[in-house]
Structure 1
C-alpha cells in the first residue's frame, strides 16, 4: 500500500467534510472493498455505533477484536449479544504470549511497572496481525475523547500499521453517539452505566469522577494516555 501525501489526505478530508458517518463508511467500503476491516472492542460506544452502521451498509464487512486475555466479562457478554443481534462472526486475535508466560518472563503485574510494554505485546503486536493484509481499517476515534485525539480526521494514514485509518465519528461528540445508540437500540457494554466511560483491560481500567476526562480511568496514576494503537 502506497502512502498518500499530505495534500492527498487533505483533499479526501475536504471532500468528506460534510459527510455523515454512514456516508464515510460507504465511501470506505466502495474504495477498499474486502480490504477494509472494522475494529470493534465491544467496550466503547463508538465501536458499537460503527458496528451497527457498518453491517447495515456492508453486511459482509470483516469485524475483528483483540482478546488480550484481560477483558471484562461484560465486554465478552457484549460481544456475544452483538453476534446474536447482527448475525456476525468477528475475527478474534490473541497475543502470542499468555498471561502466565508474560509473568514468567517479565514478572508479575507488568501493567503496573511497564504498561507500555504490556500494551505493546498484548495489543499493538496483535493488531499488526489483524491488519497485515488490509488496505484500511475503521476505528471509533473521536476528537472529543481526549486531548491526544483533537486533530483526528475522517481519513488518515496509519504510520504504525501501514494502511489507511478511517474514523467516521471524528467530528461527533459523546452525546451524538449516545443519541444514535438509543435511537437505533444498539447494544452497549453495561459498564458504561456503572461509571466506566472508557473500557480496556481489567487491570488498567477504573471508574472516573464526574469532573474527569472520559479516558482518565485508564492506566491508573501513570502518565500513559493511549494503549499504542493510535499513537
Structure 2
C-alpha cells in the first residue's frame, strides 16, 4: 500500500513560478508591443523529477538494511541509536530515515505539516496554498527554504517508509513461517512425550501388579513356616 502511494505521488505534478525578475521573451517583441513583457508561465515538474534534481538519493535508490528491519533482532545485531520500535510500542520514524541515510532538510515535511495544522480548518484550499506560499517565500529569503526541498524530503521519507515496511514485512513473514515449523516440531515432541508418559504409566501399573502378586506368593512361603494364625491362608 505504501509503495502504491509512493508510485502515485512520484507522478504528481508541482507548479513552480519562475523568478519574478525574469521576464518571458517567448513570442514577445518590444518593438511591436511597447507594453511590459509578460511574466513567465508557471513551470511544472513531477515529484520524481524534483527529487532527482535535489541533492541526495533518487526514490528508487532508497533502501533499508535488512539485518536491521527485523521483528526479533539478534542481541548482536546492528541497531540505530534509538530503536525503531520504542519500549512503549510507538514507532520512531526518525530512526527509519536514519537507517535509510536520508539527507537532512532545512525545513522538513513534518514542519510543513505543523504549519498546515496551524491554519484554520475551514480555510479554502486555495487560501491555504496562498498562505503557505507567502510563508515559504519569506523563509526562502532568510533560511533558503524552497518548495523543492520540502517535496524531496517528504518523497524520500515516503520511499524510506515503503522500503522499511517491505523489509520488515518480509522478515516478519519469514520469522513466522520458521516459528510455525518450530511449533509443529515442538508439538510433535510434546505428543511423543505424552505418549511416552502414558506408556510409562501403563508399564508402571503392570509392574506394580506383577510385583504385588509375586510378593504375595513369596509371603505365602514365609507364612507357611511361621507361627502365623488365621486369616493367613497358609497358617
TM-score by length of 1: 0.24
Give the structure with the higher percent strand: 1
Q: Which has the larger radius of gyration?
A: 2
Give the structure with the higher percent helix: 2
